[in-house]
Amino acid sequence: MVVCCKGSALSRLWKSKDQQVQQLKHYQPQNSKGGGNWRKKFLFLGILLGVLVSIWIFLSMNANIIARRKETLANMCDERARMLQDQFNVSMNHVHALAILVSTFHHGKNPSAIDQKTFAEYTARTAFERPLTNGVAYALKVLHSQREEFERQHGWKIKKMETEDQSPVQDDYTPEKLDPSPDQDEYAPVIFSQETVSHIVSIDMMSGKEDRDNILRARASGKGVLTSPFNLLKSNHLGVVLTFAVYNADLPPNPTPEERIEATVGYLGASFDVPSLVEKLLHQLASKQTIVVNVYDTTNSSAPIKMYGLDVRGAGEIHISNVDFGDPLRKHEMHCRFKHEPPLPWSAITTSLGVAVIVLLVGHIFYAALNRIEKVEDDFREMRELKVRAEAADVAKSQFLATVSHEIRTPMNGVLGMLQMLMDTELDATQQDFAMTAQASGKALIALINEVLDQAKIESGRLELEAVPFDVRDVLDNVLSLFSDKSQGKGIELAVYVSDRVPEVLIGDPGRFRQIITNLVGNSVKFTEEGHIFVSVHLVEEVKSSCDFSNQVIRDSEDGIGMSYNTLSGFHIVDRWKSWENFRMFKFSTEASDAINLLVTVEDTGVGIPQDAQSRIFTPFMQADSSTSRTYGGTGIGLSISKCLVDLMGGEIGFVSKPGIGSTFSFTAVFQEGRKNLGDMRRHHPDPPVSDFQGMRGLVVDGRCMRAEITKHHLQRLGIHVDISLNSKSALSGILEACNLSGAGHLDMVLVDKEAWGEGSGLAFPRLLAEFRQNGLMKPQENLPKMFLLATSLSPTEVDDLKSAGYTDTMMKPLRPSMIAACLRKALGVGSKRQREKGQAMALRSLLSGKQILVVDDNAVNRKVAAGALKKYGAEVTCADSGKAAIQMLQPPHKFDACFMDIQMPEMDGFEATRQIRSMETKVNELIKSGEASSEMYGNVAHWHIPILAMTADVIQATYEECIRCGMDDYVSKPFEEEQIYSAVAHFFESGTVDSVS
């Protein structure tokens, strides 16, 4: 039957493969050879467009360069014009101020406070305030009738400004050579002058045409006025004269021009040597050599007068800036142009050429690519075909995993089931050992299959976690029981500690949580030959608050005493804190969350991990070195699976390891706190420990503080009040004191570690009590508490010496509450051992006794195993070999209380059979509810719903989801054991008397 089942499964796989091949045959690749011509046309258009773009880039950048050049010229020209205008205005304001000064101190005082010497010294000291003036002078208004008296007072004649022939004035010009000023109505001889223009003293300013017009406009307007450019005396430079009229104190406010002329007493003039001044200004600018500057008087726009200009030919366009010298009747402009021709626009040339070259190169590349495009497309079509095949292979792989899971577990279910039934028969010791060995080997094979399937599910992203209530302490006790034989065989300490702050019930996936710890502890047991393995569980918040540790276990593991470290075994360990210091939970606050964040640490004193192998320790199928698998065995995927499971639990995993010292692996996991519900807890942990030791007192004698704390932890879980003695003196004192007391102070038990103060020291401890008894320091024997020896391993000689030494019994490590309770019950006579050992079996029998169970499976071996397992606990089992037969037998009314149904069956699988059964029940329930049929017609049942439990060897999550969708109530995975059966049926039969169909 098994062979037939395998053949059927393989045929289904081949059929699925043929369907995928047919899909590939229907795939028609697209022919694209005709696309070459239009691609080349587009390429040509693209190249042409690229060349046009490069030309546009050149024109655009060149225009931008020219615009920037014009802007630069405008800025430079405007800057110079503004500076010349500002400085001229400053000089004009100071000349005006000097005119007011003369009016005040020369005409306003009698006698005058100003003479030529005073004027010359003052104007020399204040020359810096008039940076553009060549010199200043004051001319007095003299009428013709006053000329003779004026000349007599000053001792010189009023001279005429210009020579008769109007030729340019020579450099050896002196006032004595000038002719007297001709007779006229009014004169304006210079009486005060700055030292730089002292040669104009005695010259009549009214004798020059430009100065005369200037004086007449100045006294009529009351403002400073400028002459048109003319050659200055002596210097022969082109310049202008700024003139201010000086009035007497009788000038009324807002005077008319006539009143101004009448009040005029003199004229203050300032000469400006324009070429020298402009040249001085340009020398102050660093960029003066880059542009050519010309200054023009454009009062007569048709005949502008060039006031300043270098004989250097400029290049390019001219920029004109207006210059305002304060005289509204005269206009001045500054013309600027660059001195040199503009350079070639190299940036525009290089950029446009670069773009053109890139376009041509890209065109060449595309042209070469187009010549090979047909080959590339052929390769693409081939790759796409391979992709379709790969996807089909992935689907086939998933189907293969599901099928292999089912097909391997199905015969293994038969093997393990029959072995269990064989072990329930009368066997001698040898036969029982053979059967147990075979069953253990079968379970090891199932565990290996589970690891491979887990890795495949992780790779495909289909591994999911369940959320059920569980007790962390029960999970760890279960892990200890798995490795107790190996740890005892090696003589290493194996211990577990769970902080009291960890809630009793959590919501999560206990199976996957157990799997992670089992993998880590299994590795530690594999690679540790001496020392200890210590598993601890704390809240993340508890560990983060390092200054608030109430756990002696954590504190004691940190310090060493001499050569013996205060650890579980006295061996040196790595710094466990480094294994979690980079976890996110320890860097960021987690207190605001309602989640329970656990930190689990597995510490060992094994061989350690080489430094070069630590980076790949979580890689699937990778081990520390090539010899590891030969020396220690294993597939190398346990840690990889553990890391993926930790990630799914919202945590992180890390480790620290030193060769020759040991390793510490730590991981975090996020759970929710649950409420203790007896039904749910029984479902996942059907045999919770029940303590009969409330109120008892015990004494732990152990020189190693940390080890004593762990022993105390397990005893307290049973409700026992525990004291610790770290040396023999305090232990004997405590025992003597307790022996003299009764009631609450009485000591019920003493637990002494075999290596309390060194190797074998615990065996000698009862001798000290014997010496006390011989010396009469103790009461009679019946008052002594029960003595128990805690040991990791015992030699035959030590076993023989136990009774004679005074020990009641031995508790073999690793300690766990169930083992301690069994030992104490035996020694103290509490409870019934036989009833305790068979508690779960009795619970199953009470649930299944008399129940009518239908088992549906096409495999005869599986039907026999399932029927035998259910009959063992009193159920009445009926078998069916197909889904169709199950539908006929479960048509209401029927006698069955539950149905165990296989999923994969020929003709009609378990999913379809369940759907049809639920459909039948729905129709019957509707008839009864509507009154069309009475409940008496259907066995006096008002509502039909038989519990259907799937029997599946396929452990993929999608299979379980499909079970629920089709109407099944739960499932048991093959090969199933006593605990699985209990967990499944307890949900439906825990009340003891449940109606068979409702």
Flag whether pLDDT at 200 surpasses 80: yes
Would you give the DSSP letter of residue 651? -
Q: Reduce the DSSP state of residue 699 to 3 states and report it.
A: strand
pLDDT at res. 284: 74
Residue 327, phi-psi category: left (phi > 0), alpha (psi -120 to 50), beta (remainder):
beta
- 628/533: higher pLDDT: 533
Would you say 120 and 172 are in contact if contact means Cβ atoms under 8 Å apart?
no
The torsion of the CA quartet 150, 152, 157, 158, rounded to 10 degrees, works out to 0
Name which of 677, 684, 678, 676 is nearest 982 in CA terms. Answer: 684
Would you say 206 and 266 are in contact if contact means Cβ atoms under 8 Å apart?
no
What is the per-residue pLDDT across 485-502, written as a single tens digit (0 to 9) for each? 888 888 899 999 999 999
pLDDT at res. 665: 95
What is the per-residue pLDDT across 600-645, written as a single tens digit (0 to 9) for each? 999 999 999 888 888 888 877 665 554 444 455 455 677 888 898 9
Query: In the chain, what percentage of residues exceed pLDDT 70?
Result: 80
Name which of 201, 20, 11 is nearest 115 in CA terms. Answer: 201
- 424/64: higher pLDDT: 64
pLDDT tier for residue 739 given thresholds of 50, 70 and 90: confident
pLDDT tier for residue 743 given thresholds of 50, 70 and 90: low
Rounded Cα–Cα distance for residues 449 and 413 (Å): 13
Would you say 673 and 505 are in contact if contact means Cβ atoms under 8 Å apart?
yes
What is the helix (H) or strand (E) element at residue 565, kind and residue range?
Answer: strand 564-565
Least confident of 88-92, 748-752, 758-762: 758-762
What is the per-residue pLDDT across 710-738, written as a single tens digit (0 to 9) for each? 999 989 888 899 999 888 888 888 887 77
What is the helix (H) or strand (E) element at residue 534, kind and residue range?
Answer: strand 532-539
Rounded Cα–Cα distance for residues 96 and 411 (Å): 123
pLDDT tier for residue 657 given thresholds of 50, 70 and 90: very high
Number of H helices and E strands in the chain, helices first, is 29, 33
Q: How many CA atoms lie within 13 A of 751 on its CB side?
A: 28
What is the per-residue pLDDT across 820-849, written as a single tens digit (0 to 9) for each? 888 888 888 776 444 444 555 666 677 788
Flag whether pLDDT at 919 surpasses 90: yes
Q: Reduce the DSSP state of residue 137 to 3 states and report it.
A: strand
What is the per-residue pLDDT across 440-478, written as a single tens digit (0 to 9) for each? 777 777 777 777 777 676 766 667 788 888 999 989 988
Flag whether pLDDT at 34 surpasses 60: no
Q: Reduce the DSSP state of residue 336 to 3 states and report it.
A: strand
- 82/953: higher pLDDT: 82
Flag whether pLDDT at 11 surpasses 90: no
Flag whether pLDDT at 117 surpasses 70: yes
Flag whether pLDDT at 529 surpasses 70: yes
pLDDT tier for residue 528 given thresholds of 50, 70 and 90: very high
Average pLDDT over residues 359-364: 89
pLDDT at res. 691: 57
Q: How many CB atoms lie within 10 A of CB 577?
A: 15
What is the per-residue pLDDT across 76-112, written as a single tens digit (0 to 9) for each? 889 888 888 888 888 888 888 888 888 888 887 878 8
Name which of 583, 669, 653, 574 is nearest 618 in CA terms. Answer: 653
What is the per-residue pLDDT across 365-411, written as a single tens digit (0 to 9) for each? 888 888 888 788 888 889 999 989 888 887 777 667 666 666 777 77
pLDDT at res. 771: 75
Q: Which residues of 310-355 form beta strands (DSSP E)?
A: 315-323, 332-338
Average pLDDT over residues 537-542: 91
Name which of 849, 824, 825 is nearest 835 in CA terms. Answer: 825
Q: Which residue has the tokens 């699925």?
A: 16
Rounded Cα–Cα distance for residues 317 and 296 (Å): 17
What is the helix (H) or strand (E) element at residue 768, kind and residue range?
Answer: helix 765-774
CA dist 952 to 636, 862, 901, Å?
Answer: 28, 11, 8
Flag whether pLDDT at 669 surpasses 90: yes
Name which of 84, 453, 106, 57 is nearest 277 in CA terms. Answer: 84
Would you give the DSSP letter of residue 526? H
Mean model confidence pLDDT for the chain: 80
Would you give the DSSP letter of residue 997? T
Rounded Cα–Cα distance for residues 41 and 46 (Å): 8
pLDDT tier for residue 873 given thresholds of 50, 70 and 90: confident
What is the helix (H) or strand (E) element at residue 367, kind and residue range?
Answer: helix 346-371
Name which of 447, 528, 514 is nearest 486 in CA terms. Answer: 528
The torsion of the CA quartet 755, 761, 762, 768, rounded to 10 degrees, works out to -160
pLDDT at res. 558: 46
Flag whether pLDDT at 683 surpasses 70: no
- One-letter amino acid for residue 25 of the chain: K
Average pLDDT over residues 504-527: 90
pLDDT at res. 917: 93
Domains defined along the chain, listed by start: 82-164+175-306 (3.30.450.350), 346-371+387-459 (1.10.287.130), 464-550+564-623+635-673 (3.30.565.10), 697-832 (3.40.50.2300), 840-987 (3.40.50.2300)
